[in-house]
Amino acid sequence: MEFSAQQIADFIQGKVEGDNTVKVHSFSKIEEGQPGTLSFLSNPKYNHYIYDSNAGIILVNKDFVAEKEIKATLIRVENAYESLALLMSLVDQAQGRKEGISPLADIAATAVIGANAYIGPFVHIGERVKIGDHVSIYSHSNIEDDVVVGNDTIIYSGVSIYKQCTLGNNCILHSGVVIGADGFGFAPTEDGNYKKIPQMGNVVIEDWVEIGANTTIDRSTMGSTVIRRGVKIDNLVQIAHNVEVGEDTVIAAQTGISGSTKIGRQCMIGGQVGIAGHIQIADGTKIGAQSGIPNSIKETGQLYMGYPAMPGNLFHKVAAVQRKLPDIYKTVYELQRKINELEEKLKK
């Protein structure tokens, strides 16, 4: 399937600069651009690639200023990265989706399957499960009793959703995701052992949530662990029982969020972040990679970094001092040596 520069510009409301009849059939990175492909430039760091790129069409921001001649046809848009995402979504949708129920699927008689669903081989769907319209469930996934899955949701191979959990519309769960496993609840006993506390709640995932491969979200002790609308979670993230993640928050890989913590709206959490339990993170908080958050963050829109985490401006000052510590140590050692010498002379 091919599209001309003018067709693409009309779709993304851009302005063509160059040959509006040039056609493309696939995508490429700007540094690897080939004829017949569409690329993009949004980060000034990569500006130098545009002059040698062989891509047929390149999306650029409206404010991009060329320093020399560019071979490709440009399409100027408000946000090149966002426009690329829109085009890639269009192509993905055009490729179609599977439909039908495999005869190898195990579906309980009391389950309700919506219109135009795809259910792959060796999928298990338990009692009283409700599957919405246009849902895709790929092979070897396990949907336990009383689960609800909303319309247009995609569940890839090897996903496990425990009993009574709820997924909204237009969600994507990648392979290996586990929703609703027991929260880590154990009561210490007098003899030093631990008694398991039954986890009686569930997990509620709202609309437009995407969850990366091998991420786990535990069911609550009571009530619900809640992932709000539009949350995007990377691979290998652990979200503990009774956590709430606010709308449009993004969480990068290998982050762990301890029980009963409340994450605000539109937060950005970097990779390998550790967040303590029973705290609150304010709306719009940004947390740098490998940070440790032991206490609540109450002020909205702040950047925190480090372990234990501190405001970003303070972290940069501390980091600058840390780099100088070897020299500072030598200076202090030399001063101490001179003080000792003076003390010895005074004794004489």
| Neighbouring C-beta atoms of residue 341, cutoff 10 Å | 10
What is the secondary structure of 130-192 as a DSSP string? EE-TT-EE-TT-EE-TT-EE-TT-EE-TT-EE-TT-EE-TT-EE-TT-EEEEPP--EEE-TTS
140 is catalytic: no
Contact 124, 130 (CB under 8 A): no
Contact 102, 117 (CB under 8 A): no
CA nearest neighbour of 129 among 76, 92, 166: 166
Using only C-alpha atoms, what is the Rg of the chain?
Answer: 27
CB under 8 A, 24+ apart: contacts of 153-160: 157/120
Annotated catalytic residue: which of 134, 140, 241, 278? 241
What type of residue is 129? V
Q: Which residues are catalytic?
A: 241
